[in-house]
Structure 1
Amino acid sequence: MTIITWLSELLLYVSFSLLAGYSILTFVPARFKPEMRIPNKVIILAAVSIPILAFMPILRIVLFFAGDIGFGLTIKNVLFSFEEGKAYFKLVITAIVLIWFLIRRPLINPRHSSILTGLLTIIMALILSSASHLASLIGWQGVTWHFLHFVAAISWAGTLLVTGCFSLKPDHWQNYLKWMTPLGIICLIGISVSGLFMLQPVAPDYVDSWVLSYGQALLLKHIAVIPLILFAFMNGVLYRYKQKRNTAWNPLSWIRMEGVAILVVFLFTGYMGQQSPPHDVSLTVRESGSSSWFQFLVTDKLPEQVKLIIALNGLSVMLGVLAIFTLALLVYKAWKSEGWKWPQGLGLIFIAFAYLSLMTAVTFQ
């Protein structure tokens, strides 16, 4: 069940991203974007998928309690008494309205359609944020930070995914980058600032949380952001210069590469949603146990009170140097345009080296 809910959360992010990307790119005038054809059925499928995928966490709660009072009574209580259930009803109603608009899309002015889709997507994002774990911890502040974080992520990811998947040719590329690069920077700043405010209430002891599965996924997510930022820099700066010099050069595969890098971040984010947040690391370890990866790489013998420190050693430094070298090689291979597979593979290798560098450096105080 955990794997299913994990993958459903990843697909939920992708569905929201497609709707956000469609809204933004349909609103942008034709002279400021590549020629593209976005199939209506893909956008409708994304809208239909949202209430289905969003039901998986509800089902998980139901299955957790069903053994005590029965499935029927449990699902009734969850849907009508739990905040998650109430939010889900609102989400379903909003999604139905959105699907109705998308079905009528050919009859509606494209810009009006993009505005309606964007507005309803934002409302659904707000509904999800109101039922988030952060909202239960710090109220409206949690809703606000989760909402900003989520909207910034799907706006950036969605624009890249829709551009990479549905562009027919890279015309108007310089005009496209004039607004896409600032949008990416704004989204990155929004993700970073909101992420910092989200981190304190959820994982106040960041390094200590690495003993837990949640902390491991959070660390991997933060490491995965580094090659993503690098890909964004290459697309927004280096490849802009390259395309100016050679207008025949096709940058779309590199936009897809940046989109895939965002999906890797989403993958770790989805896994975090299935784990116990580390408000009190020592207590969570006693209740849920430590991460199997931490046990394998560091130790399976944990003290009563968990306190980790980073103590660099020869192995961790060597792995860190290899991680930096991998990033440098990534930039070199990308600039030489030796295919998208090299940079993508090197990005994954960097994540592995950086992660192992930190894991071999941590020890108990």
Structure 2
Amino acid sequence: MAVLYVTETLLYSCFSFLMGAFILQLIPSHKKPSILIRERWLYVAIAGIAVFAFTPVAVLIMELSKGTDLASITQLVIFSFTIGKAWAFTFAVAVFFALYLFTFPVLADKRFVIGALIFTIVLIFSISWSSHAASLTEWTGFLYHSVHFTAVSIWIGILIAAGWFAKDHSNWLSFLKWFSPVAVICFSFTIISGFFMMAVIMDVRDYISSWSLNYGQSLLIKHLLLLPILLFAFINSFSIKKRLQKQKEFDPRPWMKAESIVLLFIFVTTAFLGQQEPPHASSGSDYSPLFAYFYNGNIPMPTQFGWSSMSLLFSITAVLFFALCLWSYTKKAVGITFILSMLLVFSVYMALITGLH
């Protein structure tokens, strides 16, 4: 299963890289830093999508064939199962996408960037076709997943391109003027579509009780990782803008990198989440090992939240870590701020877990 988590994370990263690279190609040079993205990296990302999207298909084929009659089982999965048909379509689009890049100078002529973005979005739709949410509804789950995936890819894609591939930090104030509202819009669409997607997969009223399952644990951790995201978003969008107005030499790229790393952590939890049985498919006794660890096997049923002395203590600790994050930002300590933000997530997690009864 570990290979599924790794390849799924890499799959999301490939999509984000492509989205960020193409969107920044459309932005005038005076409204962005100098970005260096080589054409061969685009080919690698497209190939990565085709290969990494095949991993769950390959795992399913191996599970069904058990080492025998591999050819017929492969044909059955690819042409009869939704996950197989979705991958076949993904592979075909990826091939045409690569041919499009080979034929047209996408990185040299903005006229061809729109076509590249259309290919990227079609690939997102293809991946969403075989998602958890899409399998439970006729079209709403597919729509929610597509919107969710697209919004996140735009957001983190621009972060990755600007934070990791910028050669300098020139025009950063001009860059923030358009990127900050784009990030807010993407975050809003991510939250709204994520809520509706969760409502498709599970009863929202069972959110707390789902924490005893692997699915609920990964969903909770994914949601808690939004705390450092909001923290770094505030720093990168507002605080850095004020600092740049006073200090032209200030380099904001390390802070963008820190935010993109937290978003990559969200990709990891999403990859884990996508391979877990949702609450409606669980037997109810398949408890998360992480959850059971904190309760020594004595699972509180039904699971509900209520304040306890330990949860209050961890809540106070979380507030202190949040204050320390802001303090470390004033000291320009990116690494320390990142570590403190992770401790903030841990403290809030412990406050919630120790409050269950």
For this structure pair, what is the TM-score category when the shorter chain's length is used for normalisation? Answer: over 0.9
- The unaligned stretches of length 5 or more in structure 1 are none
1:44 aligns with 2:43: yes
Partner in structure 2 of residue 62 of structure 1: 61
Which stretch of the first structure deviates more once superposed, 351-360 or 214-223?
A: 351-360
Kindly state the Cα deviation for residue 254 of structure 1 after the two structures are TM-superposed.
0.8
Partner in structure 1 of residue 341 of structure 2: 347
Partner in structure 2 of residue 9 of structure 1: 8
Kindly state the Cα deviation for residue 95 of structure 1 after the two structures are TM-superposed.
0.5
Kindly state the Cα deviation for residue 73 of structure 1 after the two structures are TM-superposed.
2.2
Letter in 2 for 1:220: I
Partner in structure 1 of residue 329 of structure 2: 334
Is the Cα–Cα contact under 8 Å of residues 292 and 299 in structure 2 kept in the other structure? Answer: no
Which of 285, 288, 291 is equivalent to 1:291?
A: 288
SS at 1:37's partner residue? coil
Partner in structure 2 of residue 112 of structure 1: 111
Q: Deviations over 1:227-252 (max 9, x none)?
A: 10110111100110000111111111
Kindly state the Cα deviation for residue 18 of structure 1 after the two structures are TM-superposed.
0.3
What is the CA–CA distance in structure 2 between the aligned matches of 1:108 and 1:323, rounded to whole Å? Answer: 45
Letter in 2 for 1:312: W
Which stretch of the first structure deviates more once superposed, 134-143 or 59-68?
A: 59-68
Kindly state the Cα deviation for residue 257 of structure 1 after the two structures are TM-superposed.
1.0
What is the CA–CA distance in structure 2 between the aligned matches of 1:343 and 1:128, rounded to whole Å? Answer: 34
Equivalences, count:
355
Is the Cα–Cα contact under 8 Å of residues 317 and 347 in structure 2 kept in the other structure? Answer: yes
TM-score calculated relative to the size of structure 2: 0.96
Partner in structure 1 of residue 85 of structure 2: 86
What is the CA–CA distance in structure 1 between the aligned matches of 2:299 and 2:345, rounded to whole Å? Answer: 26
Is the Cα–Cα contact under 8 Å of residues 22 and 114 in structure 1 kept in the other structure? Answer: no
Q: Deviations over 1:90-115 (max 9, x none)?
A: 11111111112223454775212321
What is the CA–CA distance in structure 2 between the aligned matches of 1:139 and 1:300, rounded to whole Å? Answer: 39
- Which runs of structure 2 are paired with 1:95-106 in the superposition (5 Å)? 95-106=94-105
Letter in 2 for 1:187: C
Letter in 1 for 2:292: Q
Is the Cα–Cα contact under 8 Å of residues 315 and 351 in structure 2 kept in the other structure? Answer: yes
User: Percentage identity across aligned positions?
Assistant: 29
Is the Cα–Cα contact under 8 Å of residues 227 and 327 in structure 1 kept in the other structure? Answer: no
What is the CA–CA distance in structure 2 between the aligned matches of 1:114 and 1:244, rounded to whole Å? Answer: 32
Q: Deviations over 1:288-336 (max 9, x none)?
A: x211011111242448xx5211121111111111112111111111122
TM-score calculated relative to the size of structure 1: 0.94
- Which runs of structure 2 are paired with 1:92-171 in the superposition (5 Å)? 92-106=91-105, 109-171=108-170
Letter in 1 for 2:263: I
Partner in structure 2 of residue 319 of structure 1: 314
What's the RMSD between the two structures over aligned residues? 1.6
Task: Note closer, same or farther for the CA distance 1:241–1:295 as it changes in structure 2 (3 Å cut).
Answer: same
Letter in 2 for 1:7: V
Is the Cα–Cα contact under 8 Å of residues 170 and 251 in structure 1 kept in the other structure? Answer: yes
Kindly state the Cα deviation for residue 149 of structure 1 after the two structures are TM-superposed.
0.3
SS at 2:198's partner residue? helix
Partner in structure 1 of residue 197 of structure 2: 198
Partner in structure 2 of residue 33 of structure 1: 32
Partner in structure 2 of residue 185 of structure 1: 184
Kindly state the Cα deviation for residue 64 of structure 1 after the two structures are TM-superposed.
2.2
SS at 1:15's partner residue? helix
What is the CA–CA distance in structure 1 between the aligned matches of 2:94 and 2:84, rounded to whole Å? Answer: 15
Letter in 1 for 2:38: P
What is the CA–CA distance in structure 2 between the aligned matches of 1:346 and 1:203, rounded to whole Å? Answer: 32
Partner in structure 1 of residue 239 of structure 2: 238
Letter in 2 for 1:168: K
Kindly state the Cα deviation for residue 170 of structure 1 after the two structures are TM-superposed.
0.8
- Which runs of structure 2 are paired with 1:250-329 in the superposition (5 Å)? 250-279=251-280, 283-286=282-285, 289-302=286-299, 306-329=301-324
Is the Cα–Cα contact under 8 Å of residues 33 and 175 in structure 2 kept in the other structure? Answer: yes
Is the Cα–Cα contact under 8 Å of residues 213 and 275 in structure 1 kept in the other structure? Answer: yes
Partner in structure 2 of residue 212 of structure 1: 213
Letter in 2 for 1:290: Y
SS at 1:171's partner residue? coil
What is the CA–CA distance in structure 2 between the aligned matches of 1:202 and 1:176, rounded to whole Å? Answer: 38
- The unaligned stretches of length 5 or more in structure 2 are none
What is the CA–CA distance in structure 2 between the aligned matches of 1:360 and 1:301, rounded to whole Å? Answer: 13
Task: Note closer, same or farther for the CA distance 1:76–1:255 as it changes in structure 2 (3 Å cut).
Answer: same
Is the Cα–Cα contact under 8 Å of residues 228 and 262 in structure 1 kept in the other structure? Answer: yes
What is the CA–CA distance in structure 1 between the aligned matches of 2:248 and 2:25, rounded to whole Å? Answer: 24
